Structure 1
Amino acid sequence: MSNNTGNVLIALLAGAAVGAGIGILFAPDKGTRTREKIKHGYDDAKDNLVHKWDDVSREIKRKFSNRKHDLEKTYEDLVESMNDKNGDIISFLEKKLADLKEQNAKLQN
């Protein structure tokens, strides 16, 4: 999550909490009822924050999992490519060795 998105999320949650608190404090209600409303608002904000944290954690885990899979695929492709190149190099060297043997045989005669 980018730093800007995190700041916006924190500001949004803080604004909602402050707004709810001010609304409850200025409402014409008994103190016990007001305290219950504040506690309920706090519990709602805490649950909302926990859900947001879980969502962010899942997203981060998903992204790292995708990166790991991409890295493994790239490694496998590289190894496969190197194996193909090794076969080409061996074929080339065998051909050159055969040519050298042929030239040596001609020089021996």
Structure 2
Amino acid sequence: MNDNGNTFLGILAGTAIGATLGILFAPDKGSVTRRKIAEQAEATKDSIAETTLDMRDRAAATVASKRESFDNQLENIVSDVSHKTEDVITSLEKKLAQLKANNKKLQKS
């Protein structure tokens, strides 16, 4: 996204400079040329603002998507750990029952 943004800004800057130079060398009155420069500057400012908003929206969408993916992965990990913990507890309970039975046999009545 960074390379695309830099490329777009480079193209936009080149276009703005080219348009401004074209206006400056055009055979118009000074007032007409100044008006054209002002219009071109306003159009460039609007284009940059629009591009910035678009890039911000795409970044926000990417962050939201990554966060949702992370939340899902974390939930899956917690669930897996819970299941494995349950298996360990069950195994320990069986071993404890065996140990109690063996201990009972060793005790005199």
- TM-score, scaled to structure 1: 0.90
Pick 1 or 2: higher relative contact order, CA cutoff 8 A, min separation 6: 1
Structure 1 stretches of 4+ with a deviation exceeding 3 A read none
* 5+ residue gaps, structure 2: none
Counterpart Cα distance in 1 of 2:5 and 2:83: 47
**Within 5 A, what are the aligned runs for 1:68-79?**
68-79=67-78
Which residue of structure 1 lines up, in the alignment, with residue 34 of structure 2?
35
Q: For the aligned residues, what is the CA RMSD?
A: 1.3
- TM-score, scaled to structure 2: 0.90
Q: Number of paired residues? A: 108
Which residue of structure 2 lines up, in the alignment, with residue 55 of structure 1?
54
Counterpart Cα distance in 1 of 2:94 and 2:39: 83
Letter in 2 for 1:54: L
Work out the percentage of aligned pairs sharing the same amino acid.
Answer: 39
Letter in 1 for 2:43: D
* 5+ residue gaps, structure 1: none
